[in-house]
Structure 1
Amino acid sequence: MTRIDISTIGFTKTSAENFFERLLKAGVRKVIDVRLHNTSQLAGFAKAEDLAYFLKKVGGIDYMHQPLLAPTYDILNAFKKQKGDWNVYQRRFLSLMAERDIESRLKPDLLSGACLLCSEDKPHHCHRRLVCEYLNDKWDGRLVVKHL
């Protein structure tokens, strides 16, 4: 069984310099955007088209948006806007991942050298961590995850 190195990162509460330096230092080759909405003006340097440009220009890093790994609007809204309970969010999101059968629809090699991106600055209450944990469980612990 081949081990797969994968990172995760959030773009809020950091500067563009710090964000891109962390990606470069970690040797990231591809950023996989797992946000439901990746075109918000509030995203600053992490707005989809701008981010793809900066990643390629700064470090030759590829960019792809993967909505399959994003929560639904209802799940996200219940947690963020309605100040929902993290445990409820986590349960609903993990059920969504199972329903979507992401472990069969994605190939492990897609994640090799990749970094999952979302907005949360820390992985503790973030779906990018849940995606990694879910896939690691389904793929027999193949993922070596580093939260940047």
Structure 2
Amino acid sequence: MILYTIGFGKKTAQEFFTLLQRNGVKRVIDVRLNNVSQLAGYTKKTDLAYFLRAIADIDYIHLPEFAPTKQLLDGYKDKKIDWREYEIQYLCILGERASLNQLDNSLFDGACLLCSEPTPKQCHRRLLAEYLAEKINGVTVVHL
């Protein structure tokens, strides 16, 4: 099972949709807390769902239960906590929510976790992908 991740930051719409198509992504799982942001016009909730279907025949689902809390995001952005503390708190949030227990693991097969960060290095989508790979047998993570 391949689980992809992608951040739309610093990507044109052409780069973004081409990466998804070339890799055979079946569905985009939006793990942003706020999916109506103006950061990239083509990734607003209803627009993104439409573009994914129309351009690449890819499904869209928003799962904010996999997003960090606003408090955690603000703490990191405001430099009240460092990246290591962010990682620890985010993984605790995932454990407490136990959202994975309510989903069929096949949802992640050929799926791509989406957020805004251009690279996975300091991004919750990487942490989530690694968490899922630990919890679901046979998952290979590929960052686009």
TM-score, normalised relative to structure 2: 0.95
Greater Cα offset, 99-108 or 56-65:
99-108
Structure 1 ranges of 4+ moved more than 3 A = 81-84
Any conservation in 1 of the 2:3–2:142 contact (CA below 8 Å)? yes
The Cα shift of 1:136 comes to 1.5
The Cα shift of 1:42 comes to 2.5
Q: Deviations over 1:103-147 (max 9, x none)?
A: 32222101011100000010010111111111222224x211100
Report whether the alignment pairs 1:144 with 2:128: no
Unpaired runs of 5+ in structure 1?
A: none
CA distance 1:16–1:83, change in 2 (3 Å): farther
AA partner of residue 144 (structure 1): T
Identity between Structure 1 and Structure 2 (%): 49
Alignment match of 2:111 (pick from 111, 114, 129): 114
The match for 1:13 is: 10
In 2, Cα distance between equivalents of 1:134 and 1:102: 12
In 2, Cα distance between equivalents of 1:128 and 1:106: 17
Any conservation in 1 of the 2:31–2:113 contact (CA below 8 Å)? yes
Greater Cα offset, 73-82 or 109-118:
73-82
How large is the RMSD of aligned CA atoms in angstroms? 1.2
Alignment match of 1:31 (pick from 15, 24, 28): 28
Any conservation in 2 of the 1:103–1:139 contact (CA below 8 Å)? no
Alignment match of 2:70 (pick from 64, 68, 73): 73
CA distance 1:83–1:45, change in 2 (3 Å): farther
In 2, Cα distance between equivalents of 1:33 and 1:129: 13
The Cα shift of 1:61 comes to 0.5
The count of aligned residue pairs is: 144
Alignment match of 1:55 (pick from 52, 57, 61): 52
Any conservation in 1 of the 2:52–2:60 contact (CA below 8 Å)? yes
User: Matched residue of 2:61: which SS?
Assistant: strand
Q: Deviations over 1:32-60 (max 9, x none)?
A: 00000000123311111111111011011
TM-score, normalised relative to structure 1: 0.92
